[in-house]
Amino acid sequence: MTSLRKDQICNLLKGIETGDVKSVTVVNEDKYIQHNPQTHEGSEGLAALFKRLSITNPSVNIVRVFEDGDYVFAHTEYNFSNSNIGFEIFRFEDGLAVEHWDNIQPRLGPNPSGHTMVDGPNEATDIERTEDNRGIVKSFVDNVLIDRQFEKLGNYICDENYTQHDPQIADGLPALRLSLESMNDNISSLEYSKNHRVLAEGCFVLSVSEGFRIGVHSAFYDLFRVSKSRLVEHWNTIEAIPPRNEWKNDNGKF
């Protein structure tokens, strides 16, 4: 499903390739709130960033893009001197983007099942089930990822139908269960502590959480595809949050 806002965000992100300052005109510079700690506030900051990045001859592949009310969220692949996978979230107000969040990590994989971090379906279906699917993912994040009630995994995931795009984990419920249960003892464990936002369009639902990876304060973006009230596919990125004294704006990651 296409929309004006989706097209505007795709054009904005594609501006990274060219450094064209016109690509940021979708941003309201008087209201823009930037949550990337490494980027200066306002559309002038974006324009400067795009011009700097364009020198490296980057490519931007927008793999999938969705809309939820005033929000547009995209799953992207950036190729600068190396390949990175990201999620981008923009909030609109009066037809312009006024707030931005993102989460980016180096591309890894393929995973043990041969899946990359970006392949798979990209069209939202079951639009009428958007709110039901949002609730299912929020419940999974709260109960399983944050509260670690791993005995409830079977309530959300069918063993025979779960495709995993995390670069470290294979398909299926047993591999996910093993990965989650090892978080309690593994020095490289992930700890989800708070869920900040759940965005959805049809079968695709994006969860934005924070916690710790190997003891480092980190952001977790998890995209799920939901079918018949079960989680059937998962993509994610994990990014360390820089120390406060390294931030270029005062808005925080979330």
Q: Angle at CA 12, nearest 5°, toward 95 and 251? A: 75
Is residue 29 over pLDDT 90?
no
Which residue carries 């009428």 as its tokens?
A: 128
Q: What's the CA gap between 219 and 231, in Å, rounded?
A: 21
In this structure, which CATH number among 3.10.450.50, 3.30.450.20, 3.40.640.10, 3.30.300.30 belongs to the domain 4-106? 3.10.450.50
What is the DSSP pairing of strand 230-240 with strand 163-164?
A: parallel
Domain extent listing, the chain: 4-106, 127-240
Secondary structure of residue 157 in the 3-state scheme = strand
Is residue 73 over pLDDT 90?
yes
Is residue 186 over pLDDT 70?
no
| E strand residue ranges, 167-250 | 190-201, 204-213, 216-227, 230-240
pLDDT of residue 157: 96
Task: Name which residue leads in pLDDT, 188 or 106.
Answer: 106
At 98, give phi and psi (nearest 5°).
-125, -5
**pTM of this prediction?**
0.94
Q: Is residue 120 a contact partner of residue 113, using CB atoms and an 8 Å limit?
A: no
CATH fold match for the domains 4-106 and 127-240: yes
pLDDT tens, 108-149? 999 999 999 999 999 999 999 999 999 999 999 999 999 999
**Residue 188's pLDDT band (cuts 50, 70, 90):** low
What mean pLDDT value characterizes the chain? 92
Q: What's the CA gap between 133 and 136, in Å, rounded?
A: 5
Is residue 2 over pLDDT 80?
no
Fold that domain 127-240 belongs to in CATH: Nuclear Transport Factor 2; Chain: A, (3.10.450)
pLDDT of residue 156: 98
pLDDT tens, 210-249? 999 988 999 999 999 999 999 999 999 999 999 999 999 9
- Residues 92, 96, 98, 104: is their CA dihedral positive or negative? positive
